[in-house]
Chains A and B, each alone.
Chain A
Amino acid sequence: MFGLKADWSHEVFERYFTIGDYAGGEARWCPGCGDHGILAAVHKLLRDEQAIPELTVAVSGIGCSSRLPHYMGTFGFHGLHGRALPVACGIKSRRPELDVWVATGDGDCFSIGTAHWIHAIRYNMDMTVLVFDNSIYGLTKAQSSPTSPLGMKTNTHPFGAILGPLNPLTVTLGISNVSFVAQVVDWSPPLVYETLKAAHRHRGLGFVRIIQRCPVFADAHGKEMLADPTRVLLLNHEHGIPIDKSVARQFPNHREHDPADLAGARDIAQDQSRIPVGLLYHNPDAPCYEDLSSRGGDMTPARKLAGLDSALDDFTI
C-alpha cells in the first residue's frame, strides 16, 4: 500500500487511488442492510487492486441491490429491472478493456432477468457479477422472490410462500460454459472480500451469490440463518477461496472441495440443508465471448473503407 512493496522498495505511483476515489454518493440502504458490507468490500478491493476509476463500470438493474452504481465513483449504468447483464455484455463486447461489475438481486437476476442470467453465464464475458440475494423484494415492499423459502410470509403470500425456492446454484452450475461460481454470506466480511477478489481476478464471468440480510422485510429469515452457524458449509481447497482463521472459526462445518470438480459442485449445491460458502466451481479456461465479439475493434478507417468497397463489389453490376 502507498507504494511500499514486499521487498521494501518504494514504487512511485503516477496516480494512486484511495477508497474515496471509488466511493460515490452516500449509501441510502436501510440501516443494518447487508448491502453496506458488500459495497465496502467492493470499494476496498478496487483500492487494493488499484483499478482505474474511469475504466471501471458498475452496471445494475433495478432493486435495492441495483442502487450500488450510485454509491460508486466509477462509471455506472443503473438501467432496467432484470436487464443489467445484456447491458454489461454489450459494454464488454466492443470495449473489452473496461472492468465491468454487475450488481443484481434475487428478483432482478433470478426472476425478471432469468433469460439473461442463463445466457450471460454461457457468453462468459470477463466481468464480476454480484447477486445480492436477500430472498425478498425490498424496493417494492416485501413480495416473495424466487428464493423466498417455503412458508415465508410476504405481501404477495401473506399465509406463507406456497412454492419452494429456486436453487440458483444448481441452475448456474448447469449452464454450458459456466466458469466461476461462488457463494458467500454477508455476515462474513473477510470471506466476502476474498471471494470478490477471486471472482474479479478470474478471466470470465465471476458469478458470486451473496446471501444477505434484509432486516426490514425478511428479518426472521436472516436471524434464523445467523442463529445456526452449523448450517453453513465452508468449502476449503488450495485452489479455493483463501480462508481467514476467523472465518474458519465462524463456520465450524468445513468440507474439502476441489473447485475444478463440477460434479462435486453440483452435489454440494443440490443439498438444500446446508448453505455452502466458498468457491464451488472454477474453470479458468472457458472461452470468453468478447474474444470473438471485439474482433476488428482496432481496424483503421482505410481498411474499413477497403472492406466496404469489396462488399459493394459483390452487388455491383
Chain B
Amino acid sequence: MPGMGGSLKLRNPLIVERFSSALTHQILLVLAVALLAAGLAVVLAQRRPLPPVIDEPVARRILRLGFGGLWIIAGILQLQPSMPIGLPSAVVLPTVATAPGALNHLVSLASNAWLRHPVLGASAVVWLELGLGVWLLVARDGWWSRAAGWASAAWGAVVWVIGNGLGGMFVGPLSWMFGAPGASLFYVLAGVALGVPPLWLSRRSIVRWTSRGIGVGLVLLAALQAWPGRGFWGEGPASVRPLSSMAQDMGALGQPGITASLQHWVAQATLDGSWIFNAVVVVGLALSGVGFLMASRRWILMSLWLYGSLALADWVMIQDFGVFGGISTDINSMVPSVIFLLAAGLALLDHRGDTPAAIPGMDGGGARRPRSFGALARIGGSAASAGVVLVGALVISSIGILPGATSEAAVATGGTVADLGGVPAPDFQLIDQRGEPISLATLRGHTVVLSFIDAVCTSECPIEAQEMRAAARELGWPSDVLFLAISANGRFDSRQATVTFTRQEGFDDWAQWRFATGSPTMLRQTWQRYGVNVAAVGAGAMVAHGEAVFIIDARGKLRATWNLTPGPDEGSVTGQSTTALIVEQIRALR
C-alpha cells in the first residue's frame, strides 16, 4: 500500500535458492583458483630452499588454531539462508542506529552496497572466512603463516568497524557480559600477534606489556560493569534491567528447548538477583585483571581459571552460545577472548623467570628441512586458501563499485515473483492519457508491464512510475514493451488527472507510457479482476491501493506478478533493485 512502507523478508525462498545456487556455482571457480594457487606455490617452493624451521611458540599455536577454527565456524554461519538480506538489515545496521553520524554513514554506505548485490556479498564472505580459517590452520610457519595473520587482522578490523559498529558500543548498555569490546577485536589482536615475527611473542618486554594491557583492560571492563545507574545492580524498573531483558529477548528467539529454558531461568533469576550476577562478574573481572598485572605464575593461573569460568558461564547463560536465534555471524566474544587470554597467559608463563625466551631453531637461522610432502602440502594448502581469501576479498570489495543493483532487495521487500503460467489476462476497456482506447486487443503484440497507480498519490506511485521509466531506459527504450498504469483512485480518476500525472513525471515524450482510466464501473471491475484492493482509508489520507505488477506477454497471457515496493526513491537500493526486477522479468520473455 502506498505510504505504508515495506519490510524486508529475510528468508525469501527465491533469494535462498539464488544464494544456494551461487555458492554451488562458485565452488568450481573457488576450486580452480585454489588449485592454481596451490600448484604455483608448490612449483615455486621446490625451486627455492625451504625457510628455516622454527618451533612455533605455544601461544602462537593456540592463537592460530583457535582463531582458524573460529573463522571456519564464522564461515559456516555465513551459509545461513537469511544471510544475504539479513546481515545488513538485521545485524549490521541496528548496531549503528544510535552511533555518531560518520560511523552511521560509513556503515550505511557499506550496507547499501551489500543490499545492491546481496547474494554476491554473502557468498564472498563465506569464501573469505572459510579461506581465512583454513589458511590459519594450515600455515604453521614462515611467510604464509604471518600473511594469514595479517589477513585475519584486516578482515577482523573490517568486521569490527563496519559489521559490528565498533563492537556494538553504541547499542544498549555497554558491558563485557553483552560482548564488549566486540568479538572481532580479538580477531584483530590475534591476527596482529600472528602477523608479527614469531620471535616477538617470546620477547619479554612485549609479553609483559601485553599482559599489562590485558590487565588494565579487564579492570576497566570491571569498572564499567560496576558503574551504578545502568541497571546491572537491579536498580530501576524491572522492565529496564538489562540482564533480565537480554535473557528474555534471547529466550524468545528460536532455539532448542533446553537453552530456552536456561534463558528463561536466567531472566527470572536476574529479575531480582541481578546484583548477585553483577557482583560476581565485577569481582571476577577485576581479579582477572589484577592477575595479569601481577604477572606471577600463581596470579596468571588464577586469572586464566577465573576468567575462563566467568566467560564460559556468561557465554552459556547470557550470550546463549552466540548462535541461537536470530542471525548469528560468530559465536560471540567469550570464546575468542578466552583463546586470546589463554595465549597471552601461557606466553607470560614462559617468562616467569628473568631470562629471555629462546626458541629452538631461531638462534642463528634454524635448521634446513628436506622438502617433505608435509611441508609442500602446507605451502600448497596455504596458497590455495590464500587464493580463496583473495577471491572473496576481491568480490566483497567489488560490490561497492558495481553499477546498479540486482533484483534481490526488491524481491525481499515485495515478495516472490509468482509465475502465472500464461493464463489469459482479464480484459478491460479504458482510455489512456491521450484519449485513445486501450484494451487487451490494442495491446496485442506488445509485452506489457501493468501497474496500478494513483494520480494523486504523493508517496510511492511517482517513484514507481520513475522506476518503470528507468527499466525502459535500461532495456534501450524497446518499442515492443508498453508500460501501462491503470488509475487506482476512485475519486481522482479523470483523463485530465492522468495527463497531469504524466506531465508532472516528465513522461510526455515517452511513447511507451500509457496511463489508463475509465468509468468508475470499469475501473472497479478491472481492479477486481486483477485482485487489486483500492480503498479510501480516511480523511486526509491518500487512497490505499495494492501495488501488484503484472507482466502480460505479446499474446495477452499473464506471465508473472509480484508486489512492487518502490522504496524511498528511484535511486535507493530498493528503487534500483525494483528496476532490476522489472528488467529481469521483461528479459525473461524476450
Answer yes or no: do A and B interact: no
Residues on B facing A (Cβ under 8 Å): none
